[in-house]
Amino acid sequence: MVRHESETKAIDMSAPGAAGSSMKALIGPEEGWKDHVMRQVELAPDGSSPHHQHPWPHINYVLEGEGALLLGDQETPIRAGDTAFVPSDTLHQYRNKGDKPLKFLCIVPKEGHIL
């Protein structure tokens, strides 16, 4: 299966603390990857993901833009080409600090793909 990301519908993140954020489920159980989901997250300038934690880890790869990852109580700058690992049960949030969209891939176990 090959599909361009532009063919996947973006869903606005509506969780508390999210602003200017959307997500696309690119590959998951429906496409044959039974245990995980690869998502593309986009944060508008000044946008953020929810400030949250959950019982599963995830990995991220920044595709474009610049921002910050708040992991626990430490904020770290991020930019295109950076990778991040967010451990289970760790409070975290992504923030766009640039003037262009911040886009990153996020891979989670299928139980972590909550819309």
pLDDT in tens, the chain (115 residues): 889 999 999 999 888 888 999 999 999 988 889 999 999 999 999 999 999 999 999 999 999 999 999 999 999 999 999 999 999 999 999 999 999 999 999 999 987 786 5
Compute CA distances 5 → 16, 19, 24, 64, 97, whole Å.
Answer: 26, 22, 8, 14, 24
Residue 97 sits at φ, ψ, to 5 deg, of: -110, 5
Domain 5-112 has CATH 2.60.120.10: yes
Coil, strand or helix: which one is 29?
Answer: helix
Amino acid found at 6: S
For the chain, domain boundaries: 5-112
Report yes or no on whether pTM surpasses 0.85.
yes
